[in-house]
Structure formats: structure tokens, C-alpha cells
């Protein structure tokens, strides 16, 4: 397919209009979601390779001097530890967030309530915590720790 000058200019104009439309849509979505966007974001650089593996893959090969009593550092680990400390206590997403804030956990997300909600959902999927009551409308989910059976009583 051979294009002449007019056809090429028409294609360039159409591509420019399409790009402007995409940028307008991104702006509308950002305003709707309450986030800020930059006109053109560059993709992150590829991960550095160590012996042909990424840093995340090398994580499995590192030696750690951690005992079982060491404090979890991830959001999910911290939430799981707090909720399972006393399985009889009832938790909501807001209550977990308030507990994390008062304990000084470094929450870096713009909307930490959503991060806590996502972490709670993953913990339920993994079976590390349970939902006592599913929320509906303005009523939130109520979570509790998993009661571990004592092997001596079985």
C-alpha cells in the first residue's frame, strides 16, 4: 500500500485527534477517581538483573537473620498479626486503619482505607482471617481472626 502526501497528512491528523481524545478521557477518569495524572508518563525502567534474575526473584535466595518472633513489616502481615492476636475481637476496615495509625504504621497510600480493605480481602481469600458478617450498604464487613485449634485437645 503506497500512500501519497495527502493521505499521509490525513492519517497524521487523525492520529493527533485520537491522541487528544485519549488524553481527554484520561483526564476525565483521573478527575472522577480523584487522582492526578501527568500528560505523558514514561514507563519504569526494566528491573535490574542479578545473575539473570530480577531483585524480586533473588529474594528467595537471600539469607535472613529473622526469628519467628520478628515483627511483620508488610501491611498484610501486620494486619494479620493484629487481627489474629485475639480472634474474639471484631474488626472493620475503619477500625483496622485507626489501629494502624495509632500504632504508628507507615501508611503511604493516598487513600489508605482502600489499601487496608484490599489487604483484608486478600487475608480472607488466604484463610488467615474470616468474615463474621458481610457488609451491605453503609454497614461494613466485620472481620475476626481465625481460631486455631489446640493440637493437645484433638
Instruction: Evaluate whether residue 80 is within a structural domain.
Output: yes
Model confidence at 62: pLDDT above 50: no
Q: Report, as an integer, the average pLDDT of 85-104.
A: 93
Instruction: Evaluate whether residue 43 is within a structural domain.
Output: no
Q: What is the mean pLDDT of the chain?
A: 78
Q: If pLDDT is split at 50, 70 and 90, which confidence band does 141 have?
A: very high
Look at residues 123, 117, 147 and name the one whose alpha carbon lies nearest to residue 135: 117
Domain enclosing residue 131, as ranges: 73-145
Q: CA–CA separation, 27 vs 53, rounded Å?
A: 37
Q: CA–CA separation, 116 vs 112, rounded Å?
A: 6
Instruction: Evaluate whether residue 97 is within a structural domain.
Output: yes
Domain count along the chain: 1
Instruction: Evaluate whether residue 58 is within a structural domain.
Output: no
Supply angle C-alpha 125, 72, 86, rounded to 5.
65
Q: If pLDDT is split at 50, 70 and 90, which confidence band does 40 have?
A: low
Amino acid at each position: 500500500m503506497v500512500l501519497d502526501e495527502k493521505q499521509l497528512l490525513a492519517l497524521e491528523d487523525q492520529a493527533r485527534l485520537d491522541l487528544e481524545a485519549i488524553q481527554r478521557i484520561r483526564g476525565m477518569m483521573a478527575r472522577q477517581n480523584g487522582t492526578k495524572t501527568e500528560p505523558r508518563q514514561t514507563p519504569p525502567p526494566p528491573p535490574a538483573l542479578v545473575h539473570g534474575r530480577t531483585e524480586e526473584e533473588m529474594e528467595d535466595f537471600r539469607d535472613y537473620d529473622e526469628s519467628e518472633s520478628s515483627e511483620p513489616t508488610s501491611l498484610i502481615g501486620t494486619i494479620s498479626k493484629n487481627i489474629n492476636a485475639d480472634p474474639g475481637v471484631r474488626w472493620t476496615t475503619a477500625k483496622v486503619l485507626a489501629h494502624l495509625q495509632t500504632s504508628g504504621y507507615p501508611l503511604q497510600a493516598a487513600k489508605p482505607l482502600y489499601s487496608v480493605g484490599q489487604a483484608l480481602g486478600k487475608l480472607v481469600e488466604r484463610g488467615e482471617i474470616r468474615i463474621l458478617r458481610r457488609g451491605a450498604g453503609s454497614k461494613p464487613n466485620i472481620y475476626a481472626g481465625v481460631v486455631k485449634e489446640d493440637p493437645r485437645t484433638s
